[in-house]
Structure 1
């Protein structure tokens, strides 16, 4: 049976609304991007990846690199040393605001440009080249493949780097950055020029969602305490001066980039990435924000809407005569429904009747219900019979 989740994601793209906004015109290479590109990818903490749209198109990672380089600096130096150089307070400022503490010179947080330049300068290395090699290796391990730098984007950004150069010099004047501030500046621009696609970004976000462990390789890329801190800062600062609206309407840790990329990491469940180049006045992708709002609403992803406590949703899968019984329990949301669907996809049933026993299920949210209805229909299309045992009427079996 083919999973219905990619079809659902395609429907989300079809209904995310007409695109408005403008491409990032302060970077010549980004100003030339195709404004109609659109893609979304969802990676589960168990390693499944679902996509729709232009998810193979490579684009520079831009500010989505910030939480990951911040994580590397924390891994290298520890929390106290990094905190002495970069604060973790929401600034409410635009991404390129000159926002330094008047007393200490610290940037407000690592998600704005000043904080990100400082974070790059804190990564350890024998020289600037070695430091960037470590950044590229770290981000590549998160993505699950070797990434490269788009040199044209790098040169394009360096030709318009006046404001960021001013930030780097200010940071050096307060000893937040040591050595030549140009080294930290160039390292920061290079990290923003790393090429990624939606699939890479979804897997990177899923690594954060799984506590720092890569969902496929099983490698612990980010320490648990560092991972928690990064997600916390993404929650409060990742969407710049739109962070309050984002947390109210979407409610997951996130980070955006001016190339039109956007990631979100829902702890314990999924990593999500979208790509659409046209931006709103905050520098966030217009259609990307709409996609995340829709997914959050459908999937119950908002952090302030946790599921009821319960054990694994799949209580058992067993045979009774010519029936295959799939017994569920607890609260069923997207990640739980996806696990059941994946099991049917990987181990198809050859029984005459498939029984979904929901006797112990408390509730099913909208997207899980939609997935199960689609599974119901596809099993019928495969020539099987489907029965739903639903004494508490949590599921309407009418197709």
Structure 2
């Protein structure tokens, strides 16, 4: 049976960053200060619902600020854009995440900083909602996005509330300018419980893939959000998700992203996939040190930068057909990560017969380096399963025909 090489590729990336022990766990929340700094995980979920992961992908941690874009999407879905825009703006602040500041219209600058996130939290479930009902609405919604029941770490939320003076100051400021109506302590409690919902890297990959797919859950196929809501959420993540590191992040990594001080980091490539990492040690900006390095490597290797001018392929596998003892795999379009992932998934799912497999690249335009690597690995696994493998490449779009073990693949003219 053929197996997917993508988890092995993800493990290689984890191995590359494993020895980087720089940074410190968040020290202003007692339970996070005592957290194990060593877990390391990465997970991807495509919009087609294919999940790949490596490392400590089943270890739970609290969402913290990663909850902000999902809460923002729910507020947009429930209240509409006009009402949400009256409450919170969408401009990058260029300030720290916990800054006490408002714009000229007395609104928080964006929903990714704490002031904006507390205001957004108060829109959920209506202005008359109790704290517990509002938090349960968020927990149930996050659970639906993740595809399993999520729980709240009440011990961590209690721990966080003991040092919540800064957020309480923000909430009092918001009440002073009539941005929120709730008691400041209730607003901070509600927001803190939102941040204390526990997830794994795999959960976050599925949740982010839902945003990448325009609100359609990649596993269940259920529409959970409007496409416009997802577009607005991704736009704000791109401009403000990494706080005062957002400009550098967008230029170097080029993926809408959001970090959390428990060590989580999420990124979304619209129309393609969601990505999540987990590593608790943080840099001075509050972003996971190893998570940032993983994203940089993924972006470079896989060509994920939003501003990339490379072509994007759709429906990369045109057909898989049988003619006597020969199986033909016909590809089309530009070969990037998503295209090669579709190829790998197709061959793993296919029941091969006969003795020969031919990969037809007649309609392929270009190959990204990561696609070259992935497709060659897929062909090698077909060969190792006992089939004779050949490539039909009349326009020489594939750079070379050498497998990873140094052997040559037969080329048809």
Normalised to the residue count of structure 1, the TM-score between the two structures is 0.97
Comparing 358-367 with 306-315, greater Cα deviation is found at 306-315
Which residue matches 1:38?
40
Alpha-carbon distance in 2 for matches of 1:31, 1:384 = 54
1:318 paired with 2:321, answer yes
1:1-399 mapped onto 2 (5 Å cutoff): 1-16=2-17, 18-101=20-103, 103-125=104-126, 126-308=129-311, 311-395=314-398, 396-399=400-403
Deviation of 1:260 (Å): 0.6
Is contact 2:328–2:360 with CA below 8 Å preserved after alignment? Answer: yes
Deviation of 1:282 (Å): 0.7
Deviation of 1:310 (Å): 5.4
Deviation of 1:252 (Å): 1.1
Specify the SS of the correspondent of 1:357: strand
Deviation of 1:344 (Å): 1.2
Post-superposition Cα deviations, 1:104-147, rounded to whole Å, max 9, x if no partner, equal 32111000011000000111243221111111111111111110
Is contact 2:282–2:289 with CA below 8 Å preserved after alignment? Answer: yes
Alpha-carbon distance in 2 for matches of 1:113, 1:306 = 35
Post-superposition Cα deviations, 1:202-246, rounded to whole Å, max 9, x if no partner, equal 000100000011001111111111111101000100000110111
Comparing 342-351 with 278-287, greater Cα deviation is found at 342-351
Deviation of 1:306 (Å): 4.7
Alpha-carbon distance in 2 for matches of 1:53, 1:398 = 30
The number of residues matched between the two structures is 398
Is contact 2:118–2:188 with CA below 8 Å preserved after alignment? Answer: yes
Is contact 2:205–2:274 with CA below 8 Å preserved after alignment? Answer: yes
- Report the RMSD for the aligned CA atoms in angstroms: 1.2
Deviation of 1:308 (Å): 2.4
Post-superposition Cα deviations, 1:16-57, rounded to whole Å, max 9, x if no partner, equal 252311100011111112111100000000000000000000
Deviation of 1:7 (Å): 0.4
Comparing 27-36 with 261-270, greater Cα deviation is found at 27-36
Deviation of 1:301 (Å): 0.6
Alpha-carbon distance in 2 for matches of 1:76, 1:355 = 51
Is contact 1:104–1:174 with CA below 8 Å preserved after alignment? Answer: no
Is contact 1:69–1:119 with CA below 8 Å preserved after alignment? Answer: yes
Specify the SS of the correspondent of 1:111: coil
Alpha-carbon distance in 1 for matches of 2:378, 2:325 = 19
Deviation of 1:311 (Å): 4.9
Is contact 1:3–1:345 with CA below 8 Å preserved after alignment? Answer: yes
Post-superposition Cα deviations, 1:47-100, rounded to whole Å, max 9, x if no partner, equal 000000000000001000000111111112111111111010000111111121
